[in-house]
Amino acid sequence: MSQTEEIELSIAEAKKMIARKDAANRLADNADFKELILDGYLKEETIRLGHISADPNMKPHKEDIFLSLQGISLFRQYMQNMIRMGDIAAAELFEHEQALDEVRSEEAYII
Note the pLDDT tens digit of each residue in 65-76. 999 999 999 999
- Number of compact structural domains in the chain: 1
Give residue 15's domain range. 3-110
Neighbours of 86 (CB within 10 A): 21
H-type helices in 30-61, by residue range?
31-33, 46-53
Instruction: Please tell me the distance from the alpha carbon of residue 107 to that of residue 111, in angstroms, as a whole number.
Output: 6
* Helix or strand (DSSP H, E) at 90: helix 62-110
Average pLDDT score over the chain: 94
DSSP code at position 60: G
Split at pLDDT 50, 70, 90, the class of 108 is: confident
Q: The whole model's pTM is what?
A: 0.81
> Measuring CA to CA, which residue among 89, 100, 95 is closest to residue 8?
100
